[in-house]
A = this chain, B = another copy of it.
């Protein structure tokens, strides 16, 4: 069978973001880590790491990490059935990708009790919901939350409900800009938008639904909380989950630009088909909790 010490070294370098810290975590010297990575590459016949700062797994490296994580999950099941084997295992770490807006809203309340009960630690990675699935396909994560229903090879997907996005801006800015405008939608062409990143097409979609085509001025802000702070501070308008800004909507600090119009983004949980019992139990937890929490954002 495979030498899992080599895979452990690869996983540590990627998770810790460098050889030095990987060596610390595994209690080895840096040169021992380097040797293991080189040995792994000679076995695989391809580079497994791009030597950047931080190092990135190549496609071959990602496939290996995926395999290592699956083996870890299966070892956990083994440890439950044969307690002697699992004696030293402690908590299991699961690597999960999700869109930043889910992490900023419903994710933690949905999974917290489960994590505490099952002694599960999470290693979360965030990306825009349109790109999160790439990580799943690349085998970089055991599960992901994204807007696509279609599962990748080797995985299943289940619907979780939908996230309601509202186009909002600060009350102060809307009051100022609306003066003298007949068409409330015109404010969207005057104010800059705030966009999460190059993959975030929500603002484009909302503008195109109200008949505005083409490019528009925008700030880029890759942080859910920073995004809301920029809107509250009057820097522009943007699409935000209703769930995330309930206090600001209630207090009147943020207002809908076109009340009653919204964009609903469906969310799906994707998980490995052979990910072991922990992943299956987490899936059952999400199927129950997520729709309840997401539904709160649909109440105006």
Contact = CB atoms under 8 A, between A and B. Distances in A.
Contacts of A199: 17
Given A124-B226, A222-B125, A229-B107, A215 B25 contact: yes
Interface stretch (A41-49, A76-84, A231-239): A231-239
A103 B225 contact: yes
Contacts of A122: 219-221
A114 to B, nearest CB: 10
Interface string A270-292: 00000000000000000000000
Contacts of A18: 198
Given A229-B109, A235-B108, A123 B215 contact: no
A181 interface: no
Interface residues of A, number: 54
A115 interface: yes
A100 B223 contact: yes
Given A134-B53, A197-B17, A219 B104 contact: no
A266 interface: no
Contacts of A126: 222-223, 226
A29 B51 CA distance: 32
A20 to B, nearest CB: 11
